[in-house]
């Protein structure tokens, strides 16, 4: 069984995003799975498994609270244990079969985004205890670990955080993405990681407001596309059905 987890809090994403994700998974993930939404609002989620949003890190900015999903005890307490856990953002469109992506043999699989030279945490797969060290390292000193992660992962910003990192500033700036990347960099020799790429696996970034790198937004799907990750800055494109492929697949 694959335990698929999505996170929803606040008013940015309505329940329709969760329902459409469930529908896309039903069409394109041909392996036993269960979608669970970790949320502070279950309205409109009838028929979807839900878990209450954890109190830890509830005051943290951005999506640091999602780091709790790497705590095996929390997974177990909330019956989210499976052979593999897949964490997936709500602002993605699944356009083709993803079974091979989520049934890889490696205990961890991460999406490497070439233009940023980073692993993107929009989609992460892991065995339930494979990243237990990440949670332990982070929660021992959350602000300090966030500062170290930002200094490591974003060298252009390093002066903000060193030689004595500004923990408060890092805490405001950090998301789960630099935390995960920093942990992987510092523990790479200990981890067995499979990598998804755009070219080989069809995990595609949508170059809109959320990925400003001089690329045009994707108007037509490239050959081999399986998942397109938009990012919350481009949520309006999904809401408006801004491309034919969104109208065709996001339902």
When mean pLDDT is compared across 104-108, 137-141, 170-174, the lowest value belongs to 170-174
Instruction: Count CA atoms within 13 Å of residue 86 on its CB side.
Output: 24
Which CATH number fits the domain that encloses residue 73?
3.90.550.10
Q: Do 43 and 13 share a structural domain?
A: yes
**Residue at 67 is within a domain:** yes
- Can you count the helices (H) and strands (E) in the chain? 11, 10
Neighbours of 36 (CB within 10 A): 20
Q: Do 156 and 115 share a structural domain?
A: no
Indicate the number of domains in the chain.
2
Q: Do 135 and 103 share a structural domain?
A: no
State yes or no: pLDDT of 90 exceeds 80: yes
Percent of the chain having pLDDT more than 70? Answer: 90
Q: Do 41 and 146 share a structural domain?
A: no
State yes or no: pLDDT of 209 exceeds 80: no
Q: What is the mean pLDDT of residues 101-117?
A: 95
Q: What is the mean pLDDT of residues 24-46?
A: 97
Confidence bin at 130 (pLDDT 50/70/90): very high
Q: Do 152 and 61 share a structural domain?
A: no
Q: Do 165 and 135 share a structural domain?
A: yes
**Residue at 45 is within a domain:** yes
Q: Do 86 and 24 share a structural domain?
A: yes
Q: Do 162 and 114 share a structural domain?
A: no
Beta bridge partners of 120: 111
**Residue at 181 is within a domain:** no
Q: Do 203 and 135 share a structural domain?
A: no
Q: Do 236 and 136 share a structural domain?
A: no
Show which of 114, 149, 174 is a domain's final residue: 174
Q: Domain residues for 239?
A: 2-130+191-249
What is this structure's pTM? Answer: 0.92
The four Cα atoms 158, 111, 107, 188 give a dihedral, to 10 degrees, of: -30
**Residue at 179 is within a domain:** no
State yes or no: pLDDT of 161 exceeds 80: no
**Residue at 94 is within a domain:** yes
Q: Going by C-beta distance under 8 Å and a sequence separation of 6 or more, which residues neighbour residue 184?
A: 110, 119, 191, 193
Q: Do 90 and 111 share a structural domain?
A: yes
State yes or no: pLDDT of 247 exceeds 70: yes
**Residue at 186 is within a domain:** no
Tokens of 173: 């700036």
Q: Do 155 and 119 share a structural domain?
A: no
pLDDT value, residue 164: 47
């Amino acid at each position: 069984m694959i335990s698929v987890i999505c996170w929803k809090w606040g008013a940015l994403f309505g329940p329709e995003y969760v329902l459409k994700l469930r529908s896309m998974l039903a069409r394109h993930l041909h392996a036993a799975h269960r979608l669970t939404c970790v949320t502070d609002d279950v309205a409109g989620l009838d028929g979807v498994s839900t878990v209450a949003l954890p109190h830890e890190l509830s005051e943290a900015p951005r999506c640091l609270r999602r780091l709790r999903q790497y705590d095996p005890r929390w997974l177990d307490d909330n019956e989210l244990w499976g052979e593999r856990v897949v964490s997936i953002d709500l602002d993605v469109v699944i356009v083709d079969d993803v079974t091979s992506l989520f049934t890889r043999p490696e205990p961890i699989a991460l999406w490497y985004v070439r233009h940023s030279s980073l692993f993107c945490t929009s989609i992460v797969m892991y065995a339930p205890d494979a990243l237990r060290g990440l949670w332990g390292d982070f929660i021992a000193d959350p602000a300090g670990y966030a500062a170290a992660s930002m200094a490591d992962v974003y060298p252009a910003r390093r002066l903000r955080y060193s030689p004595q990192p500004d923990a408060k500033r890092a805490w405001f700036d950090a998301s789960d993405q630099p935390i995960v990347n920093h942990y992987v960099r510092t523990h790479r020799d200990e981890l067995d990681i499979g990598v998804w790429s755009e070219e080989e696996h069809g995990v595609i970034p949508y170059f809109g407001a959320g990925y400003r790198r001089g690329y045009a937004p994707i108007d037509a799907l490239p050959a081999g596309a399986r998942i397109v990750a938009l990012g919350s800055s481009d949520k309006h494109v999904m809401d408006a059905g801004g491309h034919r492929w969104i109208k065709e697949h996001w339902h």
